[in-house]
Amino acid sequence: MSPPSTSVEPAAGHGDHPRFLAHHFDTPGQQFSAGKLGMWIFLVTEILLFGGLFCWYAVYRSNHPEIFEYAHRYLDKTLGAINTLILITSSLTMAWGVRCAQLGQRRLLVLCLALTLAGGSGFLGIKYVEYRQKWREGLLWASRFNPKEPPPAAAPATPKARPGKPASAWPPGLTEKPQALAPAATPAQREPVPQHVGLFFSIYFMMTGLHGIHVIAGMTAIGWILVRSVQGHFGPLYFGPVDYVGLYWHLVDLVWIYLFPLLYLIH
Amino acid sequence: MSTDASAIEIQSSVPEHGPLGHVVPPAVLLAVFAALVVLTVVTVAAAGQWFNFGSWSLWIALTIATVKASLVALYFMHLRYDQPFYGLIFVTALLFLAIFLGIVLLDVSGYQPDIQGG
């Protein structure tokens, strides 16, 4: 893996003596294809890893749809949608970063990677807000599911609350809990609460948690190539690491594209 | 800045190709991004209170997600421009995932009469 030490020029990503061409590869193209093949095989193992969890989800949802229809109302759709948009945007900046690396646009590459990192941080920040809220309200996995409040009313009851008197009904709810609870609790108490609702949150925390770990891993990798791009390591003949890390980041995005509707948007 | 100089040469000669293959043009990146944003809005709206697709809503949501995932895989992950072998690896993984999910769900459906409501 040690690069040939013949060149000392930091920006020597071009020409006849590529600095980062490992000695066991004949050409930069061969090196790039080999690395890319390895990355894709790794991504396949990631797909199968998440596949097990998606299978778990599918089995429990097909057996107990009532749990999912009830419990998903505890999740904040708006935060989920914002996080989806953040991840999509960070995928754009990552893909643009690969383009910059291919064209040797160093400053733009650094900017794209920094924006991608910012996107990842934003995603994790919002995830933290969601987790903290779930923790405080006792919305945890399996037997740790001890909700303090029923979930917001289901779709048919919402139109009554919203267009009615938004100015008078909602602002007190933010400060005084008993007043806000009174109208919301009446329809919710009538509806039967399914058993084992904690199952939904076991799945929720396991899937979003594993996904969050992948976001952290992706950000670590992006941090690594950010440092290397500041040092000017990447250019038209050597941009493999940017490309591979990009592939990983897009896979993290792909998983979230499915998690968001499956967990937040159940009808 | 010698890298930047060589970049300009490559850009001016063949705008969409570097020495190691295709470079995705900004217009394509932005169009894919716009499509992803629009589809996100559509999937949120379809699950909102204005529509009620009943049992179809899961399949509508999954179809939209799959269109989004395909856009990411084809353009952001470059599969459309790469040699087809990487795409073959990816599709093979999805195929095995489908077999896994399909057979498990087939088994699950066999036990439906015995399942007690939650």
What lies within 8 Å, CB to CB, of A83 at 6+ separation is: A123, A126, A127, A256, A260
Is this prediction's pTM over 0.90? no
**Quick one: DSSP state of residue B21?**
E
Chain segment B96-111, per-residue pLDDT in tens: 999 999 999 999 988 8
Which residues in chain A are closer than 8 Å to B89, comparing Cβ atoms? 37, 40-41, 44
**Would you tell me how many other CB atoms lie within 10 Å of the CB of residue A135?**
11
Band (A180; pLDDT cuts 50, 70, 90): very low
Structural domains of chain A ordered from first start: 40-150+196-264 (1.20.120.80), 161-192 (no CATH)
What's the pLDDT at A215? 97
Nearest Cβ partner for B43 among A195, A196, A265: A265
Chain segment A91-137, per-residue pLDDT in tens: 999 999 999 999 999 999 999 999 999 999 999 999 999 999 999 88
Query: Considering only alpha carbons, which residue of chain A is nearest residue B57?
Result: A267
Beta strands per DSSP E along B1-118: 17-18, 21-22
Rounded to an integer, what distance in angstroms lies between the CA atom of residue B84 and that of residue B69?
18
Rounded to an integer, what distance in angstroms lies between the CA atom of residue B43 and that of residue B24?
27
Query: Considering only alpha carbons, which residue of chain B is nearest residue A99?
Result: B23
Nearest Cβ partner for A237 among B19, B30, B82: B19
Three-state SS for B24?
Answer: coil
Q: Quote the tokens at residue A144.
A: 């740790």
CB contact under 8 A, B76 and A158: no
Encode chain A in three state secondary structure.
Answer: CCCCCCCCCCCCCCCCCCCCCCCCCCCHHHHHHHHHHHHHHHHHHHHHHHHHHHHHHHHHHHHCHHHHHHHHHHCCHHHHHHHHHHHHHHHHHHHHHHHHHHHCCHHHHHHHHHHHHHHHHHHHHHHHHHHHHHHHCCECCHHHECCCCCCCCCHHHHHHHHHHCHHHHHHHHHHCHHHHHHHHHHHHHHCCCCCCCHHHHHHHHHHHHHHHHHHHHHHHHHHHHHHHHHCCCCECCECHHHHHHHHHHHHHHHHHHHHHHHHHCCC
Three-state SS for B107?
Answer: helix
Chain segment B17-51, per-residue pLDDT in tens: 778 889 999 999 999 999 999 999 999 998 877 77
CB contact under 8 A, A194 and B118: yes
What Å distances lie between residue B112 and A108, A175, B108, B116, CA to CA?
56, 46, 7, 9
The ipTM value here is 0.85
Confidence check: pLDDT of A171 > 60: no
Band (A156; pLDDT cuts 50, 70, 90): low
